[in-house]
Chains A and B, each alone.
Chain A
Amino acid sequence: QSALTQPASVSASPGQSITISCTGTSSDVGGYNFVSWYQQHPGKAPKVMIYDVSNRPSGVSHRFSGSKSGNTASLTISGLQTEDEAEYYCTSYTTTKTWVFGGGTKLTVL
């Protein structure tokens, strides 16, 4: 199984909004509404921000939202804050009942 495709990096200023894409195939992202997003700060474990495409766990800021169109899922962060600077990973369920991660996107808040 191939890793999902994410941009290597994105950057924006505080207060702005960004969107990170996660592209797969009809065998993973496009085939199921089982896409989730994880935030990882250096040296820390991943933390779930969005699950099942667009659901936000309790305690996660409303500034984080998710969507999907075809084989591409997206994570949008609005009103960027300096603490949002981190690595972000998507993951998707696949037709072989396994899970595949994206390569990760480094978000820099300038």
Chain B
Amino acid sequence: QVQLQESGPGLVKPSGTLSLTCAVSGGPISSTYWWSWVRQPPGTGLEWIGQIHHSGDTIYNPSLKSRVTISADKSKNLFSLNLNSVTAADTAVYYCARRVEGRSLFDFWGQGILVTVSS
């Protein structure tokens, strides 16, 4: 059974960088999937942030593209999210998820991690 687990600081200062890691177990990230980040501000809906393919290709939400970097470490079987120049509007629960290539199927999700942007 595939499992995803987010980790990282729960508090980030304004103008700083939000850095999260998603550890994947139960299967290698070097397989035909896209590995994604999705966030959910408190009390609101889901927002797709971006994704990375096992080949290293990345695609980002245009509204966040200038501030986002998603990378992967196959040796550690994890992928990461960096979001710079954060503001209070970036406060959210951040989820990592796996999407099946060629499908609209985000089949496995992490439990989510709340990141608060505050001084």
Contact = CB atoms under 8 A, between A and B. Distances in A.
Interface of A: 1, 3, 34-36, 38, 40, 45-48, 51-53, 55, 57, 89, 91-93, 96-104
Contacts, number: 67
Contact of B104 (A1, A46, A93, A96): A93
Contact of A48 (B36, B61, B106, B112): B106
B103 A34 contact: yes
Interface centre among B45, B107, B109, B111 (most CB of A within 10 A): B45
Nearest to B106: A48
A35 B46 contact: no
A51 B61 contact: no
A46 B95 contact: yes
The range of chain B's interface size is 20 to 34
Contacts of A91: 46, 48, 104, 106
B89 interface: no
Nearest to A105: B45
Given A1-B61, A98-B62, A99-B48, A45 B110 contact: yes
Contacts of B45: 3, 89, 101-104
